[in-house]
Chains A and B, each alone.
Chain A
Amino acid sequence: MSDPSANNTGLDGARAWIMRQGRWSPFEVAFWLAVFIPFFFFPTYLTLASQIAIAALFVLSVDLILGYAGIITLGHAMFFGLGAYAAGLLTKTGWGEPLTGLLISGAFVALVGFLVSFIIVRVQHLALLMITLGLGLLTMELANSMSWLTGGTDGLQGVSVWPIFGTFDYDLWGYTAYSYTLIVLFIGVLIARRIVNSAFGLSLRGIRENLNRMPAIGAPHQRRLQVIYTISAGMAGVAGALLTQTTSQVALDVLSFQRSADVVVMLILGGTGRLYGGIIGAIIFMVARDQLAGINPQYWYFWIGILLMIVVLVMPKGILGFLAQIWERVRR
């Protein structure tokens, strides 16, 4: 008879390790305190701040599949855009309640993501890049040609969203918009934290590191990848829906390749596979775009291109990964 206690301590040890991973670090607490700064010091930038929060949620959704599960995507704007259109069209049918609108849009996009995931998990490398790129472009062409539904290149106009809880209406300064997007982002981060600091999240990292070995140790990859892809799609859809609800319109560019590329750029700038990397990347990217585009809108991509090349060559783990490395070195 084998000794059950040895097995038990091993399992308990693993459980304790996972619990340890999920603890709140002082940096995280500091970050969530810092998000209140715009309310007090930059009230004129609250609209930008809410845009950043939306972008951060979108980046977070990509980090879940790209950073943790290793699924490269060049077409995630597909889900963002579908969420944006779903939320917009929902208000057109006469239901403008924002919270249920967010949930319905997210659920719809998650369903689409689930269907797409059957294709995604079957391909790798260049074919994966091309299929994600192709699906993104395909959705955009479809939205463009179905102008009776989506408004085509003119965008979807006349989106009217009811006040949140019937009381908080969207103000010109963006107090409500920022608070609303921030709360949704926080919930998104909570969910993402729970996922990546679980046994399931750990198995995703295993799949990222070695796709063939995971089934060999009893963790089939396809089902797991489908689950995380569906969650990621839903989260991207919620981010898109937030954009519709806070700006009261949908432009065709929510589905554009540019948006898919931008979100991956933000993630790489910040650092993949570390939750806050993408968020930091989103902040840097959006603030830089706001400032540089003010100086010279045509050439802002020049600087982003240079920054991207430097980050890839010098800081392969992103800015946050680079800082973490320095922090490790200083502590020793």
Chain B
Amino acid sequence: MEVMLAVLVGVLVAAAVYLMLAQNVLRFLFGLILISNAANLTIFAAGRVSTGQPPLIPEGADAPIGFVANALPQALVLTAIVIGFGLFAFALVLAFRAYEALGTLNSDEMRVAEPMEDRP
């Protein structure tokens, strides 16, 4: 099953990179969301997937009974999802403010920090 996830991750990454290279900042944000998802799936797949039980310890036992899903990548992905969301929210506000201040979403036209006049 990891094979399918690997292909899926590749597709998501390709779509994300293409979107992030666009001029429109909104498209860049779409790409950012897709690449976060791809990263999460990568971590998840690297810990191997199994259609088994979630990593829970039944009442009365000291350890999970039988084979359960790998808990470690799940914990990592949980953290990554939340941080990815924080990043996205900040980037969205930034893009929104940039549009308000500069009147454009085209990143080629956002030249306040490195204006064309500076270039010899």
A and B associate: no
